[in-house]
């Protein structure tokens, strides 16, 4: 089963010049969805420092979402965010 989610890409990759917000159809399983995302529409983000460490799903950390076996729903927001290193 697939769902339609919004993917947002914030300022963390200053060199990234692709679209900053896309709508995409993905599997509801989080890990599978993110693998598909990084192999496809967000392949430019799959950098050596580890995109998934900068991924929030509805504001929650990707790793927690996997551990909690979260299923994606229509309208969910996946955000690739920056390092949080103070301001």
Partner 1 sequence: MNDYYGYTGKTLTVNLTTGTWMTGILPQELAVNFLGGKGFGAQILFDRLNSGVDPLSQENIMVFATGPLTGTPAPGSSRTVMSTKSPLTGLWLDSNCGGFFGPELKQAGFDILIIEGRAPEPVYILIENDRVEIRPAGDLWGQDTFKITEKLKARHGSRHMTACIGPAGEKMAPIAGIVSEYRTFARGGGGAVMGSKNLKAIAVKGNKDIKLNDPDIFMRVLKEVYDRLRTVSAIGGGRTRYGTNVILSSVNEAGIHPVRNFQKAVFDGRGRINEKELAEKYYVKNRACFSCPISCSKASKVAAGKYEGSFNEGPEYENVWAFGAQCGNSEMGAIIQAEYLCDKYGIDSISAGNITGFAMECFEKGLITEKEIGFSLKFGDDEAMLKFVELLGRREGIGELFSNGVASAAEEIGKGSGYFAIHVKGMELPAYDPRGVQGMGLAYATSDRGGCHLRAFSVGAEVLSPAGKMDPLGTDKKAEFIKNNQDLFAVIDSSGLCLFAASSMSLEFIVKLMEAATGIKDFGSTEEVMKIGERVYNQTRMFNVREGADRRLDTLPGRLLSEAMPDGPAQGHVVQLEPMLNEYYQLRGWDQKGIPDSATLERLKI
Residues in the site for partner 1, rule: CB under 8 A?
Answer: 8, 10-15, 20, 47, 49-50, 53-54, 56, 58-61, 63-64, 66-67, 77, 79, 81-87
Cβ 68 to partner 1, closest distance in Å? Answer: 9
Strand duo 2-9 + 21-27: pairing: antiparallel
Cβ 27 to partner 1, closest distance in Å? Answer: 20
Comparing CB distances to partner 1, the nearer of 2 and 21 is: 21
Cβ 3 to partner 1, closest distance in Å? Answer: 19
23 in Cβ contact with 6 (< 8 Å):
yes
Largest Cα separation within the chain, whole Å, is: 41
In the chain, which ranges are continuous DSSP H helix?
30-39, 62-67
């Amino acid at each position: 089963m697939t769902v339609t989610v919004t993917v947002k890409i914030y300022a963390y990759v200053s060199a990234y010049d692709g679209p900053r917000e896309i709508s995409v159809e993905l599997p509801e399983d989080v890990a599978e969805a993110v693998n598909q995302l990084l192999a496809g529409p967000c392949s430019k983000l799959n950098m050596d420092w580890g995109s998934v460490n900068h991924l929030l799903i509805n504001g929650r950390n990707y790793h927690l979402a996997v551990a909690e076996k979260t299923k994606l729903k229509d309208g969910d927001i996946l955000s690739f965010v920056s390092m949080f290193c103070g301001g």
